[in-house]
Amino acid sequence: MRLLVVEDEMRIAELIRTGLMRAGFTVDCAGTVADATATLEVGSYDAAILDLGLPDGDGLDVLAKARQAGSVIPFLLLTARDAIDDRVLGLNAGADDYLVKPFAMDELIARTKALLRRPGLALGITLVSGNIQFDTVGREVRVGGKPLALPRQELNVLEHLVRRAGRVVPKSVLEDKLYGIDDELESNAIPVHVSHLRRKLVAAGATPEIHTVRGVGYLLEDKSA
Ligand code: CA
């Protein structure tokens, strides 16, 4: 298991590196956003441990760039900022866990191992409803474990429905969300996307069904639940 530790304070970086190596990991270190981003692009890492305060930017920049580049490895954030806003920000940005400094080395090792033990993709990245799995980073859908290829707009519709599974998603919300992507939105665009999507989900054997709530919007409901 190979890890990247991104930490600009040499003393802490060395401490973390030594601890993780004793625990059996292979460890590389980076001290800046630029270095970390370049290293993640070329190296094959199983997880990264990321300090939020870096000399040339924010650790969240590293995370955002990695996620944009399609990385699905777990990220554990280290933060001296004991503020809930930062934690929420980190988890929304696609981080998997965080530790507030100072932390015990044993705790860091335990959390890292827990992240690596997680099946499939990282927390907050795969949305699930019934037998539908939606990988929000890779933009891939699986139904009953089998990949289901969908055009971009149908993926976008499905993402919103899965995020709010069991609750109505107003048509106006879907129009707003998709409007930024389409320059021109035909008045019947959403119903057409939903109709195509519904047909494909049924054909793929999806347990959730898309219901139309007349005059309001759409609802994804898992009939197997
Ligand atoms: Ca720092």
Max avg pLDDT among 17-26, 76-85, 203-212: 203-212
Model pLDDT, residue 219: 94
The packing angle between helices 33-42 and 59-68, to 10°, is 30
Model pLDDT, residue 104: 92
Residues with CB under 5 A from ligand 1 (ion): 8, 51, 53
CB atoms within 10 A of CB 167: 11
Q: Domains along the chain?
A: 2-116 (3.40.50.2300), 126-222 (1.10.10.10)
The packing angle between helices 105-117 and 10-22, to 10°, is 60
Strands 217-222 vs 2-6: parallel, antiparallel or unpaired: unpaired
pLDDT band at 161 (very low <50, low <70, confident <90, very high): very high
Provide Rg for the chain, Cα atoms: 20
59 Cα–ligand 1 center, Å: 9
Between residues 129 and 188, which one has the greater pLDDT? 129
Q: What is the pTM of this model?
A: 0.53
104 Cα–ligand 1 center, Å: 17
What is the pLDDT of the chain when averaged over all its residues? Answer: 85
Query: In this predicted model, what pLDDT tens digit does every residue of 64-99 receive, in sequence order?
Result: 899 888 888 899 988 876 655 666 666 667 788 888
pLDDT of 185 above 70: no
Between residues 138 and 190, which one has the greater pLDDT? 190
- Give backbone dihedrals phi and psi of 60, rounded to 5 degrees, phi first: -65, -25
CB atoms within 10 A of CB 168: 16
123 Cα–ligand 1 center, Å: 25
Model pLDDT, residue 173: 82
- In angstroms, the CA 213 to CA 191 distance is 12
21 Cα–ligand 1 center, Å: 21
- In angstroms, the CA 67 to CA 40 distance is 11
pLDDT of 122 above 50: no
203 Cα–ligand 1 center, Å: 51
150 Cα–ligand 1 center, Å: 42
Mean pLDDT computed over 180-205: 83
43 Cα–ligand 1 center, Å: 22
pLDDT of 192 above 90: yes
Mean pLDDT computed over 171-180: 74
187 Cα–ligand 1 center, Å: 50
- Percent above pLDDT 70 for the chain: 85
Model pLDDT, residue 107: 93
